[in-house]
Structure 1
Amino acid sequence: MTSAPLRQPPKTLMVVLLLTMGVGPLLNYGLSATSDELLRRFSITESQFGLLATTLFVSATIVSMLLGKLADVLSIRHQLILNFGGTGVAMLLAGFANEYWILLIAMALAGPMQVIANPTTNRVIYELVPVGQRPSWIGVKQSGVQLTQLMAGLYFPAVTLWLGWPVAAVGAAVFIFASLWWSITQLPPEDPTDWAKVRRALLFGRSGVNSRAVERLPLGVWILAVVAMFGGVGMQATNLYLPLYTVRELDFSLVLGGLSAGIAGIIGVMSRIYWGRLLSRGKPASTLIMLTTGGGILGIASLMLAGDFGQVWLLWLGVALYGLTVLGTNVIVNAATLSMVDASRVGAASGITTMGMYAGFAIGPLLAGLLLEATGNFHASWLSVIAAYAICFGLAVTLYVHLRRQRPNAAARSDS
């Protein structure tokens, strides 16, 4: 793209980043928001429903490191075509599916296409946004995922009940393709894709990508990748099963159940911006991860108690705590990752943390679905989410200790 960051990046660029982050999860959020209806439509069990999200995220995990490398050599326009175009095709396939296995294929297709969004948007921010503004831009662009959660929670249940799942899915696909066209028109000029570099990146990750970039990543990046994984376990299990939980345990309607996820999403938008601003002010990433995951534990405990005691206010308290805290973790992970590497390793480092996140996304829904089906209630599922967040908290403490030890060593090297 440009050779140096812009002094004042255009606001339309932020909208492009929001859309790029947001379109990928639209299919899985749409399925989650209409879960009770789709379980009946396709005559599937809770664990089979969880397998849909797992299929998407397994396919994403498999290609995340490769796509992280490709994000360093493909033009931004080609990356948007992969992200938007592939997701739009997957949405159409899911809309016209009349068998469960077709839904599985749609999810397998959607995974690789959306996984490139994180390295793509990180690269755009690294190249075009001044250093001091990067954490806040990351906070805003990551909120695109939660805006999608809100839109899906409002749109899919209402349209599915009114006109049916196929119409809802086709309408979403039209939005995706329209967003692709508009986003491409808003990007600044850039060099075309060097396809020789792409071929070499596909074969052993050489050329445009430093062949030893991954091996030379700091330990902190790997810790963040594991944080992203366990955070992803809890986050995606919650996102997928929250609407179903409200319908079954609290007698919510399908629309109100979808709204519960949507409200978590809109709170998550503000949350991610807030955590991004704290990072901009120099707050340590490790400390912020302790706060977000600790809040997530309290939020999930509140959700669990809401079903136990039939108290709707506990449900909304849990939704608010979940949105305010743990949904901001990915912002912190992304911003901290960018601060630990140089320009040549942005794609590789983002690919590692994205791989961790999608691995967690793959594990969480299937684990929660299996526990739900085995026990007949949501207790074990929620406890598994709490355990995942507790592990994240411990990893954040490890990161804090590691970075404190690094600072004296770095000072000693600079004095010498």
Structure 2
Amino acid sequence: MLAVLLSDDPTNSSGPMNTALLIIVLVLTMALGAFPIVGTAVVANALAEDLTMSLTLFGAGVAVNTAFGAVFAPISGRLSDRHGGKWSCVLVLLSSGIGLLILACAPSASVLIFGLFVSSYGQGACNPATNKLVAERAAPGHRGKMTGIKQSGVQLGILLGGFTLPALSIWLNWRVAIGLYAVLAILVAALTAVALPDSRDRTQSSFPIDGKSSTLQLPRSVSLIALYALCMGCVVGGVGRYTVLFAENALNMSNVAAGLVAGLPGGIAIGTRIIWAHLAEHRIRPPVALAVQSSLTALVMAMLCIAVAVGSWIMWPVAVISAVGLNAWNAVAMLYVIIGVPQQASGRASGRVVMGFMTGLTVGGFLTGLVADVTGSYGTAWASLLLLSLIATFLAWQSGKARFS
């Protein structure tokens, strides 16, 4: 049985039930906070046909979600510091649930895009909210494991969406399928509000919220990790959106094989995120772990650069290495924020890092496609992302010097 101790506090029992409830809230907040963009991607064909949306318009809707997620991330971080992790998670779940409900009922493309805008708060706030909850309630020495578990919630949401939405869309329709997840998010919000103990009293007694926390200067390492997240976000956005197209068009892989190559890293990353976060708390300093992960990402990009020359077989090792680096670094970055800044500023620091990641995610996918269109191949795009991976490695090392000098 998984054992994760809660912070030593008389108001918060560290019994199995409370620990299980905390893990459920963390995992589902991460899974459902990011689910609107996952769900719409899975049912994209049926959705676009029903609402007569072009691929360009659909892409614009996705960009609205990630772009405003970047805008809301620092705002949500401040709200997390002020109101605590529990109520921040409730707000994330309500944002996702209401946004999904709008998507399910959307009569037109413009209403669908509005739903993606409403849910963008949850997209940008899920990390600051859950990071705050971990900082408040997980005991030192157990935060790495807890962070890895909750970061795997995003991958769990992707797997659930991929397995359930197509079947539900066939049996019922895509609107009902999305609507069921909207109801789930709202129910989890209610469960969190009613059942999860509030740790604000303890936080406020230990760190009085008198305005000083909002003006507390964050360590320079936070800004460096935010830049790291920007670079890695660009890589995630580019690779995530174009792996299948690259495998099919440039390497002549079947649609099934290309889909497996794209989906395999996410499945493996459920485990690698937990392992990396645990190692980063107990064995390897977080900046060193981040540098290793971005170096592995650079290796992935180098392999993609030569893929056309060597053949499609190389995509399978690419998928495995991606699961260790490209798809797992987020867990270490979030842990770095949780253990690297004072608890009363953990939300604000998380918001800054997430803003960098969401900005990179938005820009990276667009620029990768643009470069591929202009040059007529993916080579230059992959080389550009290789360079960004190397820059991220340099930033990780610099953050270590700033943090531990």
Bin for the TM-score computed over the shorter chain: 0.7 to 0.9
Can you list the C-alpha shifts for 1:233-252, whole angstroms capped at 9, x where unaligned? 11133333334545555454
Equivalents in 1 of 2:361, 2:111: separation in Å?
21
- Aligned runs of 1:66-145 on 2, under 5 Å? 66-97=75-106, 99-145=108-154
Change (3 A) 1:78 1:130: closer
Does residue 1:154 correspond to 2:155, yes or no?
A: no
Residues in 2 aligned to 1:398 and 1:114: alpha-carbon distance in whole angstroms: 28
TM-score calculated relative to the size of structure 2: 0.83
Q: Residue 327 in 1 paired to residue 327 in 2? A: yes
CA separation of 1:39/1:356 partners in 2, compared to 1, >3 Å: closer, same or farther? same
Residue 362 of structure 1 aligns with an amino acid whose one-letter code is T
The answer to whether the 8 Å contact 1:125/1:134 transfers is yes
Report the equivalent of 1:264: 265
In structure 2, give the amino acid aligned to 1:239: G
The partner residue of 1:44 within 36, 42, 54 is 54
Instruction: Identify which of 73, 83, 97 aligns with 1:64.
Output: 73
Q: Residue 383 of structure 1: CA displacement?
A: 3.5
Whole-Å separation in 1 of the counterparts to 2:42 and 2:304: 17
Q: Does 1:295 align with 2:296?
A: yes
SS of structure 1 residue aligned to 2:82: coil
Gaps of 5+ in 2: 1-5
Unaligned ranges ≥5, structure 1: 198-205, 407-416
Distance 1:164 1:389, change over 3 A: farther
TM-score normalised to structure 1 length:
0.81
SS in 1 for 2:83: coil
TM-aligned CA distance change 1:348 to 1:90, over 3 Å: same
- For 2:140 and 2:68, how far apart are their aligned partners in 1? 33
CA contact (8 A) 1:59 1:111 kept: yes
Match of 1:210 in 2: 213
2:3 matched residue in structure 1: none
User: Matched residues in 1 for 2:280 and 2:131: separation?
Assistant: 16
1:177 and 2:177 matched: no
Alignment-mate amino acid for residue 171 of structure 1: L
Cα contact 1:25–1:145 (8 A) shared by 2? yes
Match of 1:13 in 2: 22
**Contact 1:126-1:343 at 8 Å conserved across structures:** yes
Cα 1:51–1:252 shift into 2, 3 Å: farther
User: 1:115, 1:342 → 2: CA distance?
Assistant: 21
Matched AA of 1:241 = Y
Q: Is the 8 A contact 1:301 1:318 kept in 2?
A: no
1:272-311 matches, cutoff 5 A? 272-303=273-304, 311=312
8 Å Cα contact 1:29-1:240 kept in structure 2: no
Quote the sequence identity (%): 25
Q: Given residue 271 of structure 1, which amino acid in structure 2 is its aligned partner?
A: T
Structure 2 counterpart of 1:284, which letter?
R
Matched, 1:365 2:365: yes
Q: Tell me the secondary structure at the aligned position of residue 327 of structure 1.
A: coil
Does the aligned pair in 1 maintain the 2:92–2:122 contact within 8 Å?
yes
1:121-179 superposed Cα distances (whole Å, 9 cap, x missing partner):
11211121111111221111111111112222323344446654334322332332333
- In 2, Cα distance between the equivalents of 1:294 and 1:281? 21
Q: Is the 8 A contact 2:272 2:323 kept in 1?
A: yes
